[in-house]
Structure 1
Amino acid sequence: MKDRVRVGVVGTGGWARSLHLPALTSHPRAEVVALCGRNQAHAESVAQQYAIPRVFTDYRTMIEQADLQAIVVVTPDALHYPMTMDALDVGLHVLCEKPLALTASQAKAMYDKAEAVGVKHMVLFTSRWLPPYRYIRQLIDTGYLGRCYHCQLQYVGEYGRRPDYAWRFDQHQSTGILGDLGAHLIDLAHWYVGDIARVSAHLATFVDRPGPDGQLLAAANDTATVLLEFVNGAQGLIHVTAVAHVRGRGQDQHIALYGEGATMELDLVDGRINLQGSRQDEEHFHTLDVPDELWGGVDLTQGFIRRVNEYVVTEPVADRAFIDAIIADQPVAPNFYDGYKVQQVIDAALASHAHGCWIPVA
């Protein structure tokens, strides 16, 4: 059993600063010894904030010189594959942001190599850890839903409405909103219902934006609608967009599961949780209260967003679960295989849109 884990973080953007670094630097058995960012001055400022002793602008130099045991990759999607593969070359444990890669073939190579090297590997599908989603899975496991007939998963935001360059909508850097928000919902569909057999997708790009050179960008999708057919016969619908006007609410989410024995509906709107259910022998829907114990030691008097922010940096989830798994030599979930399964669906959805037909999930 390791005493402490020496960690390097690649990326200094919003998610690194708001989630990964607070979670890692507050873990008593994680030692963040290096930070890598493209902008030296910005990286040094972030490192100073979190008392990280060494700063690099090239992740390969960090891997060579920082004596790491684990690396956390929080970068644009196109960099996930090369950074992860280089880290695996020297036997580092890897936590990678979602989506795992740009293609299923890349994701499969990452998974295969991580398994061959024998390290811990995690992909950050944060919904898996959040109490409302965990409680739905618990209810499914107890038989509340019965056989699932149909699921609907929606995630809408407005961060793509401004016509500015953003790597998330650059075809060379990402798979668009399908990979950004859609990856979360695809993973939940797998987790709640099962493997997906085939998809039919329609993608759209509503906002034109410039590229880094000022010319019109070959933009990735900012809206996606995907029909799902599961191996077990269930049907599903995923809808994601970054261009919905939800002013002041940030991002809205809706999940509905319709089964043989019951229906469950979760709405996260304006920072409020509303989980309701109705069994087939009940006349009305009623609130399904998420058990307080799922939140651990989090202050439950605060709003949902603040509660989540505290939860992911204090409880044994996400980055902290990654560190715990390394120390105790325990399995990690969700791992690169889960990321690969999601990437297969993303690939199939992109192909479906291009060809205008249903596409099997390979």
Structure 2
Amino acid sequence: MIRIGIVGCNYGRLVHLPAFRLDPRCEVIALAGTDAARAAELAQAASIPLALGSWIELVEHPDVDAVTIAAPPSLQPAIAIRALELGKPVFAEKPMAADVAGAMAMAQKAATSGRATMVDFNFSAILAWRKARVLLDEGAIGRLRHVTVNWNVENYGTRMRIKNWKAMGEVGGGALGNFVSHSFHYLEWLCGPITGLSARLTGLPDEPAMETNAAVSMAFGSGASGSLAVSCASYLGSGHRLEFYGEDGTLTLINETPDYMRGFELRVARRPERALAPIEITDPLDRDFPADGRIAPVSRLAADFLDAILSGQSARPGFAEGYRVQTLLDTARRANNTRGWLDTGPEVMEKQA
């Protein structure tokens, strides 16, 4: 039985906890937060045996075998590195750090420790997305020509003008860290390496420090091009839309609901068909969590993480993938600042490291 400790009383408790509890190979035994009294209250309500007032206490507790982290990106490197030093596998949130240096330190420690690591890039664990990847890999639309992503929502933080890390680019958040980190991962997961990009980052007209919009142009190693437009300041926004255009057809993943994870419809057409045809995807696990569409996909990543721990194999997406995304985020911010086009091929990133 793998004994899990969770750092983070919000997303960690609301998503990591039920996701890991679905797997009988583990038991969540500890919860840590910055407020010891609140952590104790929440742990008791969730039937978690141990409540701790700091991440250090949790990571160093002898009964904790593996650690999950749901903390601001600036805090994750110290937590993850200490856990790995103690030989404890780590499941972290995205973005895995506030900057490239922190992400590199995490990735290097993961590589030398030999312990399983994972980053919660949960779109890749949605069943409709996994089917989309199979179709693209099988050549359902032929060679990819270009892909477009439009993601328009209004998140709670923007609506309430909450200036936490999720709103502020200088601490690893903003639209780039909070949203585009997901997009960079899933675009490379679906389409292969991004080899170059330009970016424009903006905020609210009256609160420019609150980074709410990102527009990115991309080139892929395959020769395909891509465009990405993300806004978390879109009241009644159109949702999350991905369109893949190939030489022989078109594939779309579209979610018009306010739920980030649930509601994606997969459609595909191949020449000479005249309309996109839906592909029905059912997720029986998702029905068990009607109030939160994040739990089912995270539970699949949790299962893969536990598989890696028990087998001694690496997990994906791991810290190597998280570091790659961090380099793309850094490059996008530099492209915004210089108003230029920057190379982002893996070989370029390796030379810069």
Query: Could you state the TM-score of these two structures normalised by the residue count of structure 1?
Result: 0.87
* Cα separation, partners in 2 of 1:207 and 1:92, compared to 1, 3 Å: farther
In the TM superposition, what is the alpha-carbon distance from 1:321 to its structure 2 partner? 2.5
Q: Tell me the residue number matched to 2:235.
A: 245
**Alpha-carbon offset, residue 208 of structure 1:** 5.1
Q: Secondary structure at the match of 2:236?
A: coil
Q: After the TM superposition, which residues 205-244 of structure 1 pair with which residues of structure 2 at under 5 Å, given as runs?
A: 205-206=203-204, 219-244=209-234
The partner residue of 2:270 within 276, 279, 298 is 279
Cα separation, 2, equivalents of 1:207 and 1:26: 44
Distance 1:95 1:24 in 2: 11
C-alpha separation in 1, matches of 2:209 and 2:49: 38
CA distance in 1, matches of 2:50, 2:103: 30
**CA distance in 2: counterparts of 1:309 and 1:124, whole angstroms:** 11
Q: Aligned equivalents of 2:40 and 2:293: distance in 1? A: 28
Please, which of 260, 272, 279 is the counterpart of residue 247 of structure 2?
Answer: 260
> Distance between the aligned counterparts of 1:65 and 1:195, measured in 2?
40
Tell which deviates more after alignment, 155-164 or 252-261.
155-164
With normalisation by structure 2, the TM-score equals: 0.89
Using the TM superposition, give the Cα deviation of residue 40 of structure 1 relative to its aligned residue in structure 2, in angstroms.
Answer: 1.7
What count of residue pairs does the alignment treat as equivalent? 339
Paired residue type of 1:344: T
User: Which residue of the partner structure matches residue 12 of structure 1?
Assistant: 9
Distance 2:342 2:149 in 1: 20
Q: Report Cα offsets for 1:244-288 as digits up to 9, x if no partner.
A: 0017xxx82100011112111111012543322211222222222
- Secondary structure of the residue that 1:20 maps to in structure 2? helix
Shift of the 259–221 alpha-carbon distance from structure 1 to 2, 3 Å rule, reads same
Letter in 1 for 2:192: G
Structure 1, unaligned runs of 5 or more: 210-217
Tell me if structure 2 keeps the 8 A contact 1:176–1:222.
Answer: yes
Aligned 8 A contact 1:19 1:312 in 2:
no
Q: Does 1:196 align with 2:199?
A: no
Query: Which whole-Å CA distance do the structure 2 matches of 1:254 and 1:110 have between them?
Result: 32
The SS at the match of 2:159 is coil
Residue 43 of structure 2 is aligned to residue 56 of structure 1 = no
1: CA distance between counterparts of 2:28 and 2:265? Answer: 37
Cα 1:131/1:106, change in 2 over 3 Å = same
**What is the letter of the counterpart of residue 130 of structure 1?**
I
Distance of 1:310 and 1:81 partners within structure 2: 24
**CA contact 1:33–1:66 (8 Å) conserved in 2:** no
Between the aligned partners of 1:357 and 1:71, the Cα distance in structure 2 is 40
Deviations 1:137-183 (A, max 9, x none): 01012210221110111222212132233221134532311111111
Any conservation in 2 of the 1:25–1:50 contact (CA below 8 Å)?
Answer: no
2:324 is equivalent to residue 341 of structure 1: yes
Matches within 5 A, 1:97-246: 97-159=93-155, 160-206=158-204, 219-246=209-236
Q: For residue 324 of structure 1, what is the amino acid of its counterpart?
A: D
Residue 280 of structure 2 aligns with which residue?
289
Stretches (4+) displaced over 4 A: 304-307
Q: Which moved more, 1:265-274 or 1:29-38?
A: 265-274
In 2, the alpha carbon distance for the partners of 1:323 and 1:333 equals: 12
The equivalent of 2:314 in structure 1 is: 331
Are residue 350 (structure 1) and residue 333 (structure 2) matched? Answer: yes
Q: Which amino acid aligns with 1:198?
A: G
Q: Deviations over 1:9-32 (max 9, x none)?
A: 11011x223210112234222122
User: What is the deviation of 1:207?
Assistant: 6.0
Q: What is the alpha-carbon root mean square deviation over aligned residues?
A: 2.2
Q: Output one character per residue of 1:281-332: Cα deviation in whole Å (capped at 9) or x when no partner.
A: 2222222223x3xx3x4366x9x9658456347x5x0223312321233431
Could you list the runs of 5+ residues in structure 2 that have no partner in the other structure? Answer: none
1:350/1:299 Cα in 2 relative to 1: closer, same or farther (>3 Å)? closer
Query: 3-state DSSP class of the match of 1:145?
Result: coil
Closer, same or farther: CA 124–69 of 1 in aligned 2, 3 Å: same
Give identity over the alignment, percent.
29
